[in-house]
């Protein structure tokens, strides 16, 4: 086995460094830009119309011109259970291209530290819960999002490969299901938190007697506030240098039915909630084992109700339109 390179000295100092947040307009990227304001670093971003990250030569040229020392790969084609299922080529091909271009391009210009964001859907559908990092590649994936999962697994492996072969200080974090300001509120393409905030809000305004929630309501999900994830990313950049992936979550999960009741309550919708079992449930449970990150010294702070209330305020400010 190839020996692991010696880890870079920790803590890694962000002060004075140029940090490229790839995907800064997305929910995760915009939370990272907010969080990095309290670090003494310079954040650089590239607008989508100025740089298409799926184009290799454009991405390499942009990186060569802008010379970031730190790169966070928060750019990805993302979407909820229905969107993933309907656009397999986009989820697989776009994400593979972005990973190859940004990670490979970063290595080519000598980036000092790179953080790649994966997802808890990379773990097998029936992995024992809570899922530890070493569950990766131990069983079949959840079919509704396997395109995205395969692309994210490739990204994780590419990061690991650069560390092994070239000693690059590249790391990967696996966040659980995310929600918060900047989410996509599209009725069909969104994830469950944004979808339900919108649906309950519209039902409240219309005095609708009931709201439909997809699936049986029985799947369990762990929800992490995106600003907590951004904080974990900064923590990991400074304090983590290892080829092993690192889970980020709250360590607590909730059924979709209970989550729907909580979201309805936050939004102020008092009608009935009905479940449409003809829509897919997806994985029966996704709960991460976060003990490695906890031992390193980081824990999530936002209570789910408070986080949903903040996301609802963001929706009301017009993010949903």
Quick check: is 179 catalytic? Answer: no
Give the binding range for ligand GDP (CB under 6 A) out of 50-58, 201-209, 214-222, 238-246. 214-222
Under the binding rule (CB under 6 A), the answer on residue 195 touching ligand GDP is yes
From the list 180, 182, 219, 307, which residue makes contact with ligand GDP (rule: CB under 6 A)?
A: 219
Separation between Cα atoms, residue 90 and residue 104, nearest integer Å: 20
CA 115, chain centre distance (Å) = 12
* 144-163 binders of ligand GDP (CB under 6 A): 145
Give the binding range for ligand GDP (CB under 6 A) out of 8-16, 66-74, 213-221, 232-240. 213-221
* 250-269 binders of ligand GDP (CB under 6 A): 256
Smallest gap from residue 47 Cβ to ligand GDP (A) = 28
As a residue count, the chain comes to 321
DSSP state of 41: -
**Crossing angle (nearest 10°) for helices 192-205 and 304-314:** 60
Under the binding rule (CB under 6 A), the answer on residue 177 touching ligand GDP is yes
CA angle 171–234–51, rounded 5-degree value: 70
Under the binding rule (CB under 6 A), the answer on residue 52 touching ligand GDP is no
Q: 303: helix, coil or strand?
A: coil
SS (H, E, C) 123-141: CCCCCCCCECHHHCCCCCC
Smallest gap from residue 228 Cβ to ligand GDP (A) = 17
Give the binding range for ligand GDP (CB under 6 A) out of 29-37, 39-47, 132-140, 215-223. 215-223
* 262-321 binders of ligand GDP (CB under 6 A): 279-282, 286
62/185 with CB nearer ligand GDP = 185
Separation between Cα atoms, residue 174 and residue 287, nearest integer Å: 12
Residue with tokens 């919708």: 269
Separation between Cα atoms, residue 265 and residue 234, nearest integer Å: 33
- Binding mask 56-95 toward ligand GDP (x if CB under 6 A, else -) reads ------------------------xx--------------
Token pair, residue 256, equals 């979709």
Token pair, residue 73, equals 């790969």
- Under the rule (CB under 6 A), what is the footprint of ligand GDP? 80-81, 121, 145, 177, 190-192, 195, 213-215, 219, 221, 256, 279-282, 286
Task: List active site positions.
Answer: 148
């Amino acid at each position: 086995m190839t020996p692991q390179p010696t880890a870079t000295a920790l803590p890694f100092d962000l002060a004075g460094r140029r940090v490229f947040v790839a995907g800064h307009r997305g929910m995760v990227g915009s939370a990272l830009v907010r969080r990095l304001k309290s670090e003494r670093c310079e954040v650089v971003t590239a607008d989508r119309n100025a740089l298409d990250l799926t184009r290799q030569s454009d991405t390499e040229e942009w990186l060569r011109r802008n010379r970031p020392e730190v790169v966070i790969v928060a750019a990805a084609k993302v979407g909820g259970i229905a969107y993933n299922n309907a656009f397999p080529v986009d989820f697989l091909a776009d994400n593979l291209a972005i990973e190859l271009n940004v990670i490979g391009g970063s290595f080519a210009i000598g980036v000092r530290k790179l953080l790649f964001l994966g997802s808890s859907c990379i773990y097998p559908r029936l992995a024992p819960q809570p899922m530890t990092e070493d569950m990766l590649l131990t069983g079949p994936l959840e079919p509704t999002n396997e395109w995205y999962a395969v692309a994210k697994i490739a990204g994780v492996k590419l990061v690991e490969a650069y560390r092994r072969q070239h000693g690059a200080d590249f790391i990967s974090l696996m966040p659980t299901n995310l929600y918060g300001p900047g989410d996509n509120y599209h009725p069909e393409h969104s994830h469950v938190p944004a979808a339900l905030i919108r649906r309950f809000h519209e039902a409240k305004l219309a005095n609708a007697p009931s709201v439909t929630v997809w699936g049986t309501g029985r799947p369990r999900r762990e929800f992490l506030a995106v600003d907590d994830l951004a904080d974990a990313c900064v923590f990991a950049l400074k304090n983590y240098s290892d080829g092993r992936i690192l889970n980020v979550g709250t360590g607590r999960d909730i059924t979709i039915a209970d989550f729907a009741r909580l979201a309805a309550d936050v939004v102020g919708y008092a009608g009935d909630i009905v479940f449409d079992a003809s829509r897919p449930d997806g994985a029966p449970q996704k709960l991460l084992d976060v003990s490695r990150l906890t031992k390193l010294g980081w824990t999530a702070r936002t209570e789910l109700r408070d986080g949903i209330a903040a996301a609802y305020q963001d929706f009301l400010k017009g993010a949903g339109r």
